[in-house]
Amino acid sequence: MKLKVVKLEECGFSSALFGLSLNKNQPMENMYNVALRLCDKDRGHNKFLESCMTWWDITAPRYWWQEFDTYRVGVSKQSQSTMHTIFDTHLTQDHFDDIIPETVLNNLNQLYDTENLILLKNNLPEGFLQRREVVMSYKVIRHINQQRAKHRLPHWQVFLKSVKEQLDHPELIWKEK
């Protein structure tokens, strides 16, 4: 599996706590503890998580991106364009999540040589890796974790583990019981 998740930037935590202090009409110094109490309470009680924003550089196979595209609200994506990059170099096994048959790879490279974009895209295996920049809030990450933590596609566990290891405040999403 070649799923790669790299945090580019994270911001908004202090502003989220400030907003929470306004809501609770309390001084800022106690807001982290309030945030810890509210982070796993849905129905608007944890809306401060929407203000904690993260930017990610993610390389994943097309079949994983199809599932990720379920998350549209609160998520922004910019992708590496297959149309503009597919002809940069002949395809190798490194362009795919797992090993593909050599005959398939040879056929793809024959299409590459003809520069027939439509035929090449129509024949790309779902394991073709695509890179995207993704912006999402802590609230979105919490939602993904709730829905995908036990998903049968192992890429989700790798994704969530990588995100958890890189977040500044993972305790707001993965609260210890």
Assess whether 134 and 64 both reside in one domain: yes
In the chain, the number of structural domains is 2
Q: What pTM does this model have? A: 0.91
How far is residue 121's CA from residue 132's CA, in Å, rounded to a whole number? 18
The reply to whether 163 falls in a domain is: yes
Assess whether 50 and 10 both reside in one domain: yes
Q: Where in the sequence is the domain holding 69, given as residue range(s)?
A: 4-78+130-172
Assess whether 66 and 152 both reside in one domain: yes
The pLDDT assigned to 90 comes to 92
The pLDDT assigned to 177 comes to 59
How far is residue 140's CA from residue 73's CA, in Å, rounded to a whole number? 8
Amino acid in position 135: V
How far is residue 26's CA from residue 86's CA, in Å, rounded to a whole number? 54
Assess whether 135 and 112 both reside in one domain: no
CATH of the domain at 66: 3.30.1360.170
Q: What is the SS3 assignment for 60?
A: strand
Amino acid in position 73: V
User: Which structure tokens are listed for 86?
Assistant: 């597919």
| Longest distance between any two alpha carbons in the chain, whole Å | 66
The pLDDT assigned to 23 comes to 79
Q: Which helix (H) or strand (E) holds 77?
A: strand 75-79
The pLDDT assigned to 126 comes to 95
Assess whether 136 and 74 both reside in one domain: yes
The reply to whether 102 falls in a domain is: yes
Assess whether 36 and 74 both reside in one domain: yes
Helices 13-24 and 31-38 cross at an angle (nearest 10°) of 90
Mean pLDDT for each 10-residue chunk of the chain (177 residues)? 97 96 86 94 91 97 94 84 81 96 95 86 94 96 96 97 98 84
Contact 108, 115 (CB under 8 A): no
The C-alpha angle with vertex 134 and arms to 130 and 140, in degrees rounded to 5, equals 125
Contact 12, 53 (CB under 8 A): yes
